[in-house]
Amino acid sequence: MDHCIFCQIINRKQPAKIVHEDELAVAIEDIHPQAPVHLLVMPRKHLPSLTEAEASDEPLLGHLFAVSAQLARERQLTTKGYRTVVNNGPWAGQTVSHLHVHVLG
């Protein structure tokens, strides 16, 4: 998706602080952090939101949460706790139409 800011970041056409990359997912630091740690874990594949995910995307959805937990462990968030948040659609406050998990700690 040419006009998608997260696709541009994934394809290195826009800068971002990338904190994790693998064949399925990329994680970045949020540009406007709402907590001391605020990461965004996103699929390389452009999925506008959870709503568009299909049955074949189930392993990918699981992977996004596995990466979220891995990043939380790396940043020592697991003892005190952290939030994983997915906003879907405008009334939920979704502003970037490329599925992403917020990791807030």
Rounded to whole angstroms, the Cα distance separating 80 from 69 reads 13
CB 24 → ligand 5GP: shortest distance, Å?
Answer: 19
Give the strand order in the sheet containing 38-43.
18-21, 25-29, 38-43, 101-104, 83-85
Note whether 87 binds ligand 5GP by CB under 6 A: yes
Note whether 95 binds ligand 5GP by CB under 6 A: yes
Dihedral angle over CA of 95, 98, 103, 104, nearest 10 = -10
With CB under 5 A as the contact rule, the residue among 38, 44, 45, 46 that binds Zn ion is 46
Residue 82 touches which member of ligand 5GP, Zn ion, none, C-beta under 5-8 Å by kind: none
Note whether 32 binds ligand 5GP by CB under 6 A: yes
